[in-house]
Copies of this chain bind each other. A is one copy, B any other.
Amino acid sequence: MLTGDLVRLRAFEPSDAELIWRWNNDPEVGRWMFGGYPESAAQIARRFEELPRNSYAGTFLGIEPLDAPRLIGSVRLRDAAPETGAAELDLRIGDKDYWGRGYATDTMRVICRYGFEDMRLYRIALTVVADNVPARRVYEKVGFVEEGRRRECFRRGGKWHDMIIMGLLEGELR
């Protein structure tokens, strides 16, 4: 079900915590994400042991290549509203060996299809730092439409950046 051409999405295990910790501490991975405050590996492990069950309200999944049982990233559908069927999406490919090779694109297709078909979503939105051009290209490739530009609401190293808002309606997924 949660399988694409390149990836399989699956629930997180506590043993995934160490990789998450490593990605959180990799400045390249976190370049265009608000990394939050420093968190220890032990704190992440505890958080992953107590992760709420996936549900309509929030589904947080690990990404694995089909040909290798290793975690390479994470994707989340959150804040789904049943009255409008609108949800928000977050994606991160943490393993840099898998950048630029179609894994993000395939993950997007799998999770969006799951959202529309299994969760009966109507609309999926995401926000991306304007300067993160590679990510924006991935989102456009699968059908996301640029819907706006929130001025100066991301801050990195004391500098302000705009964020792009993108949306995908049911039937627009490519």
Q: Which residues of B contact A122 (CB under 8 A)?
A: 120, 152
Contact with B along A110-144 (1 / 0, CB 8 A): 00010011111011010000000000000000000
Contact with B along A36-80 (1 / 0, CB 8 A): 111111110010110101111001010000000000000000001
Residue of chain B at shortest CB distance from A58: B37
Q: How many residues of chain A have a CB within 8 Å of chain B?
A: 63
Contact with B along A147-174 (1 / 0, CB 8 A): 1111111111111000001010100000
CA separation between A104 and B85, bound complex, in Å?
Answer: 30
A150 contacts B125, C-beta separation under 8 Å:
yes
Work out how many copies of this chain go into the complex. Answer: 6
Residue A86 lies at the interface, judged by CB distance under 8 Å to chain B: yes
Q: Which residues of B contact A11 (CB under 8 A)?
A: 38-40, 43
Q: Which residues of B contact A37 (CB under 8 A)?
A: 53-56, 59
Main secondary structure of the interface of A (DSSP, over half): mixed
Q: Which residues of B contact A153 (CB under 8 A)?
A: 84, 86, 123, 125, 167
Q: Which residues of B contact A36 (CB under 8 A)?
A: 54
B120 contacts A82, C-beta separation under 8 Å:
yes
Q: Which residues of B contact A82 (CB under 8 A)?
A: 56, 80, 82, 85, 119-120
* Chain A residues with a Cβ under 8 A of chain B: 1-2, 9-14, 25, 27, 30, 34-43, 46, 48-49, 51, 53-56, 59, 61, 80, 82-86, 113, 116-120, 122-123, 125, 145, 147-159, 165, 167, 169
23 A–B contacts from the bound complex (CB under 8 Å) = A1-B30, A9-B38, A10-B40, A11-B38, A11-B39, A11-B40, A13-B41, A36-B54, A37-B53, A46-B49, A82-B85, A113-B158, A116-B158, A117-B155, A117-B157, A118-B156, A125-B150, A125-B153, A147-B151, A147-B165, A148-B148, A148-B150, A150-B167
